[in-house]
Amino acid sequence: MVVFFVVIPLLAAFLIPLVSKMREGSARVLAVLSGSLLLLLSIAGIFMIKNGSIVYSLGGWRPPFGICMVLDGLSVLFLLVINLIGFIALLYSWDYIKRYSSQGLYYTLFCLMLAGLNGVAVSGDLFNLYVFLEITSIASYALVAFGTQAEELEAAFKYMVLGSVASAFILLAIGILFGSVSTLNMADIARSLAGSESRKLILFCLGLFTMGFSLKAGLVPFHTWLPDAHPAAPAPVSAMLSGVVIKVIGIYALIRLVFNIFIFTPAISQIFIWMGIISMSVGVLLAIGQWDFKRLLAYHSISQIGYVIFGIGLGTPLGIIGGLFHLFNHSVFKSLLFLNAGSLEYATGTRKLQEINGSGRAMPFTSVSSLVASLSIAGVPPLCGFWSKLIIIIAAFQAGNIIGGITCILVGMVTLASFLKVQKYAFSKQAGDIVSKIKEVPLTMAAAMSVLALFCVLIGLFFVPFLDQLIRPATNVLLEGANYVNLILGG
Amino acid sequence: MKESGMSLIVKRITRITVSLIFMFGVYILLHGHLTPGGGFAGGVIIALSFIHLVLAFGKETAFKRLDQVGASIAESFGGLMFLGIALLGVFAGKEFFLNVLPKGTPFDLFSSGIIILCNIAIFIKVGAGLFAIFVALAIMRIPVDDPGREDGR
């Protein structure tokens, strides 16, 4: 079953160019169909791993000789993030993307991106992980440039150059590792490295991986492409990029490697913690002065990814729970905010907060869902963002990291200020005379936003069962790092 | 009809070499499981033969054989074929990518089960894909002023 996470979107991606030549509208039907199948499959995945993780060998070749796919707690969490946000973004695209020409191309690229993301999340082979990572990256470069205006092409070019640098570093590290241990199966690499004496080689590879994946994740100081690339894309793609792509090809790949292949040492912990603290503070300080709604959100993504990597970097069970929980929550509310920004742009034709000027009032779905998302990201109880930030802050103080804990609190306050500004200018300010000309967005867009807003509230209210069902299995995979080898190679 | 492309000498030579290049590509493809090469290399060579046609005869003549729409359809078809071959194992009730066909005698032309079929699928995809990339780079132009949106903003 595991392989269908990759097969379904690939099938859709190759079928769409064929069918969309016959009927333009069939592309979106196919894409939404594959998105909903993937969502159902990822929900089924939660129950499939109840009796232990699943290892799937491609072509019947057992690992370490063949390529394998692994479905464990961490993969299931990320698959759910990918396919939930992917489905919502496809639903939102249904009406939104009608403004652009060549819809078939859009849905093809979107499905390829989903295939790549799902592949990264289930892959048990280091080179396969790299291939899927490149599929995701190349599809997202093209999607950022989809509007083909000067600004979008420039952003996509910048994204492509820096993304290729990151990929080159990752490929170099994979090459060095392969040269040293002669295997590409992740579990087999972990087993070989555990008995290896070459500390310098491991450190060098780890440095290359950290740099490459941090660039993909947009952590400070590797963040410069992110505030250009994320706002330039069409809104559903921005939601995918900020909500999912930076997490899966950045954070997921990094923590899978660090926790399950290498060993999580105090030195790595310090690197993660400080990258987290710097990303948090720099991201939010750059965000507060922005007037472009989507650019402001992009800077907040850097800041919130800082929370995630800080929480995971603490290395304590509570810290990892907080980090992963915040990762899930961030994907929900940040996607929602990007969809809100897309709706405002759809209705008013601008992303500048001063020009929107209270006209969001005429759009009830957009304004209510954006209020929920803003309060969530700012960490106002009882919405989902509050609990995850609280867990991270408690974990920081428990681990004795006073500076980090205080930074988390301060950054949370600045975030709140920043989103109060958004709410004031976009929604609650006395509306100008353009308000009579705008109307609420079409039904599918409103539905997509409402579902995500509902998720923000529901996860906030029922966070305990959510943590038990989804976050704890994922945390256990990271904490029992060496168990990964026994799982795949059969101990 | 207006003459396009390069001089008569180039055209005459191209007419001879293109078919040879094409045949060499098919040879590389069909012996992919026996000698170095395979679907990717064969596909690149086939794409080169089409590019050769474009360079020598101009785009009109070459596009009569394979235009951009045709290349796009062929590329999608190649991808679907590869996926379909991989799914044969699932339909047989076993693993994805399982080699379900009889393997034959090693070093025979028709041996190695699904590998030769996979090579053919890769061949179609790579050949059509590379040709489409060439067409996109050489011929398509995005006007600077056209925003590419229907509402004209």
pLDDT value at A33 more than 60: yes
Q: Is residue B146 part of a domain?
A: no
Top residue of A2, A14, A102 to mutate, by most chain B CBs within 10 Å, is A14
Selection from B26, B9, B1, B15 nearest residue B52 by Cα: B15
Nearest chain B CA: its distance from A87 CA (Å): 23
| Averaged pLDDT, A340-356 | 87
**pLDDT band for position A464 (cuts 50, 70, 90):** very high
Q: Taking the CB of residue A435, how many other CB atoms lie within 10 A of it?
A: 16
Which is more confident, A388 or A61? A388
Could A11 and B80 be called an inter-chain contact, meaning their C-beta atoms sit closer than 8 Å?
Answer: yes
pLDDT of B88-126, one tens digit each? Answer: 888 888 888 888 888 888 888 888 888 889 999 999 999
Please list, in sequence order, all residues whose beta carbon lies within 8 angstroms of the beta carbon of residue A249, skipping any fewer than 6 positions away.
Answer: A117, A120, A133, A136, A137, A213, A216, A217
Q: Hey, which residues 58-97 in chain B have their CB within 8 Å of chain A?
A: 69, 72-73, 75-77, 79-80, 83, 86-87, 89-90, 94-97
Instruction: Specify the pLDDT at position A231.
Output: 92
Selection from A12, A25, A17, A2 nearest residue A87 by Cα: A12
Chain B residues whose CB is inside 8 A of the A60 CB are 89, 94-95, 98
Q: Is residue B42 part of a domain?
A: yes
Top residue of B69, B88, B97 to mutate, by most chain A CBs within 10 Å, is B97
pLDDT value at B144 more than 70: no
Range(s) of the domain holding residue B37: 8-138
Q: Does B141 reach chain A within 8 Å, measured CB to CB?
A: no
**Cα–Cα distance, A200 to A146 (Å, whole number):** 43
Between A37-51, A109-123, A354-368, B28-42, the lowest mean confidence (pLDDT) is in A354-368
Nearest chain B CA: its distance from A276 CA (Å): 39
Instruction: Specify the pLDDT at position B152.
Output: 40
* A98: DSSP letter: G
How many domains does chain A contain in total? 1
**pLDDT band for position A436 (cuts 50, 70, 90):** low
pLDDT value at A277 more than 70: yes
pLDDT value at A164 more than 50: yes
**Cα–Cα distance, A132 to A12 (Å, whole number):** 16
Greatest mean pLDDT among A48-52, A100-104, A130-134, A431-435: A130-134
Q: Which residues of B81-114 are buried (b: 16+ CB within 10 A; e: fewer)?
A: bbbebbbbbbeeeebbbbbbeeeeeeeeeebbbb
For residues B152 and A149, the answer to whether their CB atoms sit within 8 Å is no
- From residue A40, how far is each of A37, A117, A151, A247 by CA, in Å? 5, 16, 37, 21
Rg (CA), chain B: 19
Range(s) of the domain holding residue A123: 4-489
Dihedral sign for Cα A62, A68, A74, A76, please.
negative
The interface pTM score, or ipTM, of the predicted complex is 0.86
Chain A residues whose CB is inside 8 A of the B114 CB are none
Which is more confident, A438 or B26? B26
pLDDT of A202-229, one tens digit each? Answer: 899 999 999 999 999 999 889 999 999 9
Which is more confident, A13 or B146? A13
Instruction: Specify the pLDDT at position B150.
Output: 47
Instruction: Specify the pLDDT at position A491.
Output: 54
For residues A64 and A183, the answer to whether their CB atoms sit within 8 Å is yes
Instruction: Specify the pLDDT at position A166.
Output: 95
pLDDT of A76-130, one tens digit each? Answer: 999 999 999 999 999 999 999 888 888 889 999 999 999 999 999 999 999 999 9
Chain A residues whose CB is inside 8 A of the B40 CB are none
Chain B residues whose CB is inside 8 A of the A15 CB are 76, 80
Q: Taking the CB of residue A450, how many other CB atoms lie within 10 A of it?
A: 16
For residues A320 and A255, the answer to whether their CB atoms sit within 8 Å is no
Q: Is residue B2 part of a domain?
A: no
